[in-house]
Structure 1
Amino acid sequence: MSSLIQALSVALDNRQALLAELHQQGTDCYRLFHGSQEGASGLTIDRYGPQLLVQSFHTRLERDDLLALHAHITAHLGVDLLLVYNDRSQGNSRIDREDTVYQADAEALQDLIGHEWGLNYRVRGRHPGQDPLLFLDLRNTRGWVKQHSQGKSVLNLFAYTCGVGLSAAAGGAKEVCNLDFAEGNLAVGKENGALNPELPTMQFIQSDYFPAIRQLAGLPITQRRGHKLPPYVRLEQRQYDLVLLDPPAWAKSAFGTVDLLRDYQSLLKPALLATADNGVLICCNNLAKVSMEDWREQVLRCATKLGRPVRDWQIMTPAADFPSQDQQPPLKTLILQL
């Protein structure tokens, strides 16, 4: 048995209780191997419903190793999952679409459906973006939102494919607004909504974060010196009962720069103002180099200075399929009671 198969065997054994619990919850989307913490840095193996998605970020897998992983997981789970391998070890972490190691079957690349917390999600092994359509490490937070959304207005910022919004709708939210800059992301969010026809209709706003959140917060939209602002969606000032702020690590637009390392406050302040009194703001930071303790203090201090002090807070950690040896997972999530 190769060292990689040995490491995978240990990972699968460690997940046995978790997978039984997830299956009972109506979830078949989860991480089976988290290589950076389980013996093969740069390798991830995820199940998305009927699909097995293997991705390498540092070193390309050999075909025999890939097929051996697939066979071992099939035997362990008792399910023959459709294999898709994306090698992202080359320049700029783009997906290698040449399939030099393994050519996925056409069936594996079709539009499929995965499940989480009893909800249906669109699954695609390949699409115009780089990342899977559902970030699995946020599953616990989506579950929390589903449990705490009854009768609330919910604003999902940097919504991506709207998993948090879908969870809120399933939890009985009276209103759900998903906001994201990318039309393609929101298109998948609309697909997710259509895959759950029993849920109420959600709202989708395609907009850059800064003009949208500053209007909602009642703040002016400033322009850079010498630069004319491009058109933007007009919104009325208002607050929501529950707000989710899950920005990317870095992004730049004509309206501002998203920089989680150097300037989280510029994202946080208007989100705080757009959260109602006695409301909840859920903040995320996915930078591994930022410690939870330092970031938490920064967030709490910013809220106090803005006159929106936090009454209570809790940390939401990823589930056991995302182990962290130092108890400092890259994704950090704070649930703030204002």
Structure 2
Amino acid sequence: MQVSALPIFFQHLSESLQSTPNEVRRLFHGRGRRWPGLEQLTCDWLQGQLIVSVFKQVEDEFLAALRSGLVDLSQQPVCQQRALQSIVIQHRYQDGDPAEIVMGELDAAPVVEESGLRYQLNLGRNQNHGLFLDMRYGRNWVRDNAKHKNVLNLFAYTCGFSVAAIAGGADNVVNVDMAKASLSKGRENHHLNGHNLNQVKFFAHDIFKSWGKIKKFGPYDLVIIDPPSFQKGSFALTKDYQRILRRLPELLAEQGEVLACVNSPAVSCDFLIDGMKQEAPELQFQQRLSNPPEFADIDEQASLKALLFR
């Protein structure tokens, strides 16, 4: 990355802070490759905290200029107006993704809002803080289309889709994820929104070993599939996604829908469309959901792909 490009970064942050609503939001998405020299830099606004992520090792000169510019930014009137509490640089290229506090004091467990719903985040210790911000439109779609539905949420993580579904009037949601700790955070997210947990199930299971139990709570009106691109020992995108798709016909109710997602730049929409044709030809592609404008990419096929099938 280039030190000479950093003034563009700081200008963009200043302008975005003036226009961003008072909820969690990506402010700068260098990984969309629209700003040469800043491709490995992102910044998220977590309602009082700026989290700047650096994804590849950079020269000391770049880091020094980044720190200095962020301190200068914190003195701008817009940061005082937005009640900025802290600025953190997360070094995503180092083991453990260490967080460096540049200004203020880190709130490691903030509660933030998105589209009127509340989520508990965890900062400073993990690669991901608990809510994938590029999936905002996907959660909004689920909320708008979940009324009276039985929903299956595969690779549930911290249950953002589940929170959206219950908020939208879903009758029941089944969340499945191998990580028990993530599902516990999902339970907290439901509590934060005052939801009735009798409508929500949390299964810390290996999906591929649990189809019988998953099927028991169907048929499902909506199945959500949002896996990691790669998870050592449990999921490899190009090998394992098809194993899920072929199970869909036995899981879905008549007129059931599927929201199938993939966030790997290595595959295009055709990966899901062709995979569905091969493994579950009964399901027809309907549309690709738009991504939030702040996640624009020079190649839309490299960005998040959230596809609807019916």
Specify the TM-score bucket, using the shorter chain as the normaliser: 0.7 to 0.9
Percent identical across equivalent pairs? 30
The Cα of 1:14 is off from its aligned counterpart by 7.4
Would you say 1:246 and 2:226 are equivalent positions?
yes
Is the alpha carbon distance of 1:148 and 1:67 closer, same or farther for their aligned partners in structure 2, counting shifts above 3 Å? farther
The residue matched to 1:145 in structure 2 has which SS? helix
**Aligned match of 2:8:** 6
Distance, in Å, in 2 between the alignment partners of 1:112 and 1:249 is: 27
Would you say 1:135 and 2:139 are equivalent positions?
no
**Aligned match of 1:228:** none
The residue matched to 1:176 in structure 2 has which SS? strand
Asked if the contact 2:150/2:218 (under 8 Å) is kept, the reply is no
AA of the residue aligned to 1:335? L
The residue matched to 2:134 in structure 1 has which SS? helix
AA of the residue aligned to 2:73? H
**Aligned match of 1:53:** 51
Query: What is the correspondence of 1:124-273 to structure 2 with a 5 Å cutoff?
Result: 124-127=122-125, 129-197=126-194, 199-201=195-197, 202-217=200-215, 236=216, 238-253=218-233, 257-273=234-250
**Aligned match of 1:309:** 283
What TM-score results when the alignment is normalised by the length of structure 2?
0.86
The residue matched to 1:186 in structure 2 has which SS? helix
Would you say 1:69 and 2:70 are equivalent positions?
yes
Moved over 4 A (4+): 10-17, 73-77
1:129-180 deviation line (CA, Å, top 9, x unaligned): 3212100011100000000011111111100000000000100111112111
What TM-score results when the alignment is normalised by the length of structure 1?
0.79
Distance, in Å, in 2 between the alignment partners of 1:16 and 1:320 is: 16
The Cα of 1:247 is off from its aligned counterpart by 0.9
CA RMSD between the two structures = 2.6
Is the alpha carbon distance of 1:261 and 1:69 closer, same or farther for their aligned partners in structure 2, counting shifts above 3 Å? farther
Would you say 1:274 and 2:274 are equivalent positions?
no
- After the TM superposition, which of the residue ranges 202-211 and 78-87 deviates more from structure 2? 78-87
AA of the residue aligned to 1:282? L
1:287-327 deviation line (CA, Å, top 9, x unaligned): 101012343222233221xxx332x5110132011011122
Asked if the contact 1:12/1:33 (under 8 Å) is kept, the reply is no
Is the alpha carbon distance of 1:294 and 1:11 closer, same or farther for their aligned partners in structure 2, counting shifts above 3 Å? farther
**Aligned match of 2:306:** 333
AA of the residue aligned to 1:247? P
The Cα of 1:15 is off from its aligned counterpart by 8.9
Would you say 1:114 and 2:122 are equivalent positions?
no
Distance, in Å, in 1 between the alignment partners of 2:212 and 2:11 is: 49
Gaps of 5+ in 1: 218-235
AA of the residue aligned to 2:129? P
Distance, in Å, in 2 between the alignment partners of 1:214 and 1:5 is: 55
